[in-house]
Structure 1
């Protein structure tokens, strides 16, 4: 049985480990922290006495690698899957509305939903539909050199259409402003979401906390296939000889008995382990932040599982039933603020959308992810390295690897599957 050491227990590492375990490889996964999940985990919070996520992650029907991974580890059953695309909006002055696709044949259901969107006037709807259809025929390679904002303006999208529709998708998926994000990758993800099949546009929310949805089932699957997971063990160095990794040195052990190595840590962590000149491209990443605030409410009167904010610096509200989780993407301005200042801002803003008072909020917890995702501008997209490296038995995984996707769960899981596939092929 061939042995593989995987460095990093985020979703990329867990995906690689699960796929390799399925193919009868002996896996040893090393994680520096005392937990699995990387930037997608949950933990038990003592004050509200409930398990909370470090941040909410929306999945979609087009996340084929993620859904397949969850099927492999027997966790697909932990998902709440929309039967059809529906987004409920929170607007100021409590004027709430929704975008909902009818149960028509695909893709007429999506076209009808857009044309029936009451918040846009007839001219805006026609322009929106024209671009929506045009996306199917667009060669995204020709969009290099344009930002999302420039592309949408070129396609005669109104400011309102951008704010109410395109930005919800763009900021949610790319975690940066439309002025910085690449139009090329935005077009690619729009094709994945809306032009693959009817299922692709359906929104999926984990029914359980993230660690119970992803980490625990993956860990159980890996161990059931004779794999090992070693937490709180930090990789310090790869010893390379004759273009192969011969030793993996950690703060606890020296590993010499293995056939392949998968590095599934962020680029900035990999740089501390080995000279990255072995990569086929030299990336330069700039990062964007995500802010999450969890609110324990005296009485939870919201009905839907999630809401999108319209025309606000708040982006999403996820109704966890035990509490609310509000998400702000592209959240750099909040990273230097103290928690009390952040809380005051969020509550002031929230009151514009929901009839809530200070007394209704029992507890709050703020979680900052300062390097949540890389910013997908043109330069970054062209310099993302591939999975294979110049070191024969070393493969890399992570949402920063060239998966053709932004830094999402799907990108991380896909990168792990690709790395595992390369090892199976080279075995």
Structure 2
């Protein structure tokens, strides 16, 4: 069994985390990636127009994301994350010009709610209890079925936070996914929701160290290999077609498909998977942020939603951005910069900019689409799925992607170890 090869197709975070886990266990891993670089939607690149290395999109971890942090510990890059020493979230209301800082205490008992200086201004105390109803929901309920999606606190806290996590209008989003997200963050206390950002870039934190880690453990990594088809026989995958010849499987080889759902559906007959998606728009401006600005700033009553202040540039993320996909980039840059300039106290003329539109950034986190998410197991004996669109129990996040990769690796490991035990016992299957 030690000569079995594990083929991981897709070098996004899900595929990388699966490959890292397997390589750490001494498995023979071959990682195939269609693009010329790894990372998928979690990557950096050198932008010639800006003269800067920027991320494809802004990603935020929280201190309670145990799987993502374990992955970074394995590849030795956790120190590349930066954030405040305790949970703190800064907000600015563009309509009222108010600014405030949300500061949950570390423990699960939310005594911070009794301190007005740590709360959102203009909201009644009972409004903080509204999301508790999501904890008793079913898989078919949308958030609007279980809580009121309006009011001061919804507009200034629950709406922005849930939109960022679900990338779907929270009112139509899955109450089950909203509950899962809140249960592991705000409901777990400030110790679990300290914000962490890869200041030096996503690739330098999540991708490049993983590739180095895999190379050091003997893994094979092949870029520019787009999987065209999978050959099956007797309930197993027996080969991979990359367009220029077929990779034949040995009798014990395994396949982990860590590709987007629309690609997986083309490769696996009759696969049920999410088929509705939501967009994200990111804007990057080459400008040095004001020194008194927080690392992350939530924006209320504006087009912008989250402003990230990096050493040499400012980036803005807009989730649930389907309405903006067809809007001209020049118009978006001017409108977004006007809001950035207002909160940062900068000039009105936009500096050099880059707008990145991800039309299918995540699956739509609605109850219907959540029900379409497949498990990691498939009906083929040696094929496993990974990706934030599989049944992770979470919305489409980095944490969900890593958990899916870990799950896929665990399935392969348990199957290989079980087969080894049966072989030693003289049992065939």
- Normalising by structure 1, we get a TM-score of 0.91
Q: Distance in 2 between matches of 1:114 and 1:187?
A: 25
Structure 1 distance, partners of 2:133, 2:179, is 7
CA distance in 2 between partners of 1:319 and 1:299 (Å): 6
- Match for 1:173 among 151, 165, 168? 165
Asked if the contact 2:290/2:344 (under 8 Å) is kept, the reply is no
Task: List, as ranges, runs of 4+ consecutive aligned residues in structure 1 with deviation greater than 6 Å.
Answer: none
Other structure's SS at 2:207 match = helix
Aligned-pair CA distance for 1:8: 0.5
Give the whole-Å Cα distance in 2 for the aligned partners of 1:150 and 1:311: 24
Distance in 1 between residues matched to 2:243 and 2:112, nearest whole Å: 53
**What is the CA distance between 1:300 and its match in structure 2?**
3.6
Query: Are the structure 2 counterparts of residues 298 and 400 from structure 1 closer, same or farther at C-alpha, using a change threshold of 3 Å?
Result: closer
Distance, in Å, in 1 between the alignment partners of 2:335 and 2:344 is 14
Question: Counterparts of 1:387 and 1:150 in 2: how far apart (Å)?
Answer: 29
Contact 1:100 1:113 in 2 (8 A): no
Tell me the residue number matched to 2:18.
16
**d(CA) in 1 for partners of 2:10, 2:159:** 32
1:362 alignment partner, SS class = coil
Residue 127 (structure 1) aligns with: 127
Give me the whole-angstrom Cα distance separating, in 2, the residues matched to 1:54 and 1:65: 22
SS of residue in 1 equivalent to 2:304? coil
Matched-pair contact (CA < 8 Å) for 2:104–2:189:
no
For 1:202 and 1:301, how far apart are their aligned partners in 2?
Answer: 21
Q: CA deviation at 1:203?
A: 1.2
User: Structure 1 residue 125: deviation in Å?
Assistant: 1.8
Partner of 2:373: 384
Q: Is 2:90–2:99's contact at 8 Å kept on the other side of the alignment?
A: yes
1:339 equivalenced with 2:336 (yes/no): no
3-state SS of paired residue (2:240): strand
Structure 2, unaligned runs of 5 or more: 417-429
Within the alignment, does 1:190 sit opposite 2:192 as a pair?
Answer: no
C-alpha separation in 2, matches of 1:168 and 1:108 = 20
1:30 is matched with: 32
Q: Deviations over 1:42-95 (max 9, x none)?
A: 001123322100111011122111111111111111111432211111222643
Counterpart in 1 of 2:8? 6
Partners of 1:362 and 1:175 lie apart in 2 by 28
Quick check: 1:90–1:310 contact (8 Å CA) kept in 2? yes
2:314 corresponds to 1:319: no
Equivalent position of 1:60 in the other structure: 62
**Structure 1 residue 110: Cα displacement:** 4.4
Q: Secondary structure, in 3 states, of the residue corresponding to 2:38?
A: coil
The equivalent residue for 1:254 is 246
In structure 2, the partner of 1:146 is 141
Q: Secondary structure at the match of 2:285?
A: strand
Cα deviation 1:309-334 (Å, max 9, x = unaligned): 01222100000120100111111111
How big is the shift at 1:343? 1.5
Is 1:263 equivalent to 2:257 in the alignment? yes
Aligned counterpart for 2:219 among listed residues 221, 224, 227: 227
After TM superposition, the score normalised by the length of structure 2 is 0.90
Question: What runs of 5+ residues in structure 1 fail to find an aligned partner?
Answer: none
Q: Is the 8 A contact 1:89 1:97 kept in 2?
A: yes
Q: What pairs with 1:342-381 in structure 2 (closer than 5 Å)?
A: 342-359=332-349, 361-381=350-370
In the TM superposition, residue 303 of structure 1 has moved relative to its aligned partner by 2.8
Distance of aligned partners of 1:33 and 1:96 in 2 relative to their CA distance in 1, 3 Å threshold: same
Greater Cα offset, 185-194 or 399-408: 185-194
